[in-house]
């Protein structure tokens, strides 16, 4: 029996590319399925000047709340988000139906000169509005100047070309998904710049009572990715992680075990640690890791 699914997404080039990727996965895994993509303009897309230091407004909510409303109202069947944009708790009535296999979660730099970070001249201007990236770059190259930059991938690349920037920091996953991976000057090892929790992962959200959609999404759900994302998001939750939190986390599955690495910047110093244990205990291990790092800070 044929069923039509409507996917809701932000209207940015990256968001649409992620929705198209989800559409392809669903069509590949299910016969006689029709899938439509519906673009939704969010508050975050309309407001590119928000003060990143505001404490009383979740920047994550700015990019997802209108899409979640469309989902609850039945205008769409599922929504595709970047997992790192998702608040810790979904609204009542919604659930995460699938987390597909994660794309490369590392950060990259694009420089006008084509030279890597370590070879940039002192005083070079680097664009990023992520405090995690700011603190990481300051730790690696305290002689560089870091300036805020907003906008989608293409907007930031244009600003790199036309404004006073020598380099910009972006997520490699996004660059790959919009077909621009060749622009990366340098891909940072996680030991240099720890990725944001859940970076590179997609979140496919649907109504918790929509059994048909849930069954379809189960076919594109990647269980090992779910384990690492759950661990990373637990670490993030403990540190109240968000766009304005200088914190990173990276989990990997090794056989039956999980390795979780975490970092937190406090008073211009980066604290790091890692834990290793059974992959079924990812959340508990993430809590332990957070306690270890807090111990370093308070020690």
What is the DSSP track for the chain?
Answer: --EEEEEEEESSHHHHHHHHHHHHHHHHH-SSEEEEEEEE--HHHH-S---TT-SSS-HHHHHHHHHHHHHHTTS-SEEEEEGGGS-SSPPTTEEEEE-PPPPP--EEEEESS---GGGSPTT-EEE---HHHHHHHHHH-TTSEEE---S-HHHHHHHHHHSS-SEEEEEHHHHHHTT-GGG-SEEPPTTTSPPPTTTT-EEEEEETT-HHHHHHHHTT--HHHHHHHHHHHHHHHHTT-STTS-EEEEEEEETTEEEEEEEEEETTEEEEEEEEEEGGGHHHHHHHHHHHHHHHHH-
pLDDT interval class at 126 (50, 70, 90): very high
Beta strand 125-127 pairing with 167-171: parallel
Q: What is the pLDDT of residue 86?
A: 85
**Catalytic annotation on 47?**
no
Which segments of the chain belong to CATH 3.30.160.40? Answer: 223-299
Question: How confident is the model at residue 89, as a pLDDT?
Answer: 80
Whether the per-residue pLDDT at 108 is higher than 50: the answer is yes
pLDDT value for 167: 98
Per-residue confidence (pLDDT) for residue 272, from 0 to 100 = 96
The token pair that represents 56 in the structure block = 């009383």
pLDDT at 46 over 70: no
φ and ψ at residue 33, rounded to 5 degrees = -120, 135
Query: CATH for 3-100+201-221?
Result: 3.40.190.10
80 pLDDT band (50/70/90 cuts)? very high
Residue 126's beta-bridge partner residues?
146, 167
- How large a percentage of the chain has pLDDT more than 70? 91
Q: What is the pLDDT of residues 197-248, one digit of tens each?
A: 999 999 999 999 999 999 999 999 999 999 999 999 999 988 875 556 799 9
Looking at residue 44, what is its pLDDT?
58
pLDDT by residue (tens digit) across 163-183?
A: 999 999 999 999 999 999 999
Q: Which of 31-35, 100-104, 216-220, 236-240 has the least mean pLDDT?
A: 236-240
Residue 116 reports pLDDT greater than 60 = yes
Sequence ranges of the chain with CATH classification 3.40.190.10: 3-100+201-221, 107-187
The active-site residue out of 85, 107, 230, 273 is 85
How much is the pLDDT for 51?
A: 41
Question: CATH homologous superfamily for 223-299?
Answer: Porphobilinogen deaminase, C-terminal domain (3.30.160.40)
The reported pLDDT for the residue numbered 3 is 83
pLDDT at 161 over 60: yes
Give the confidence band of 64 by pLDDT, cuts at 50, 70, 90.
Answer: confident
In angstroms, the CA 194 to CA 192 distance is: 6
Report the distance separating Cα 190 and Cα 105, nearest Å.
9
Q: Give residue 84's pLDDT.
A: 87
> Is the predicted pLDDT of residue 55 greater than 50, yes or no?
no
- CB burial of 52-86 (b: ≥16 within 10 Å; e: otherwise) equals eeeeeebbbbbbbbbbbebbeeeebbbbbbbbbbb
Whether CATH 2.40.160.60 fits 107-187: no
pTM to 2 decimal places = 0.89
């Amino acid at each position: 029996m044929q069923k039509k699914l409507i996917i809701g997404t932000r209207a940015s080039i990256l968001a649409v590319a992620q929705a198209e990727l989800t559409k392809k996965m669903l069509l590949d895994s299910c016969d006689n399925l029709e899938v439509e993509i519906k673009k939704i303009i969010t508050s975050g897309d309309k407001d590119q000047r928000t003060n990143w230091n505001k404490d009383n407004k979740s920047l994550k909510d700015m990019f997802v709340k209108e899409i979640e409303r469309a989902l609850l109202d039945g205008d769409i069947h599922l929504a595709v988000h970047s997992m790192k944009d998702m608040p810790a708790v979904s609204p009542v009535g919604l659930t995460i139906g699938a987390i597909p296999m994660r794309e490369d979660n590392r950060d990259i730099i694009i420089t006008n000169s084509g030279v890597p970070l370590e070879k940039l001249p002192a005083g070079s201007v680097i664009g990023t509005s992520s405090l995690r990236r700011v603190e990481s770059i300051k730790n690696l190259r305290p002689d560089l100047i870091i300036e805020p930059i907003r906008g989608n991938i293409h907007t930031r690349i244009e600003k790199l070309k036309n404004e006073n920037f020598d380099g910009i920091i972006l997520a490699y996953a996004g660059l790959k998904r919009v077909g621009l991976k060749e622009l990366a000057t340098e891909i940072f090892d996680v030991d240099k710049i720890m990725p944001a929790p859940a970076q590179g992962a997609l979140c496919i959200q649907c109504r918790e009572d929509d059994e048909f959609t849930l069954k379809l999404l189960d076919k594109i759900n990647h269980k090992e990715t779910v384990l690492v994302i759950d661990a990373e998001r637990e670490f993030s939750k403990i540190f109240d992680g968000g766009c304005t939190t200088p914190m990173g986390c990276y989990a990997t599955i090794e056989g039956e075990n999980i390795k979780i690495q975490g970092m937190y910047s406090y008073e211009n110093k980066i604290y790091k640690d890692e834990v290793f244990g059974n992959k079924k205990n990812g959340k508990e291990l993430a809590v332990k890791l957070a306690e270890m790092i807090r111990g370093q800070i308070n020690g």
